Amino acid sequence: MQIGIVNAGNIGLNLAIPWIRHGHDIMLSKDTHPEKLRERVRAFGLEHGLNDAELNRFRYGSLAEAAKFGDVVLLSVYFPRLDHVLKELQDAGVTLSGKIVIETMNPVNVDENFNHSHDLKYMKRTSVTEEIKKVFPEAILFKSFNNMFAPLLDVKKWSSNRIPTIVFVGGNSSSTGTVRKLIEDAGFRPQFAGYNLVDARLLENLGVLFHRLVENEYQGDVNIAFDVVRP
pLDDT mean for each 10 residues of the chain (231 residues): 96 96 97 94 95 97 98 96 97 98 94 84 97 98 93 85 92 98 96 97 94 90 84 79
Closest to 209 in 3D by CA, of 122, 123, 137, 125: 123
Task: Give the span between the Cα atoms of 208 and 119, in whole angstroms.
Answer: 10
Residue 118 neighbours by CB distance under 10 Å: 18
Q: Cα separations (Å) of 71 from 76, 122, 205?
A: 16, 30, 29
Domains of the chain: 2-216 (3.40.50.720)
pLDDT of residue 111: 82
Distance CA 45, CA 39 (A): 10
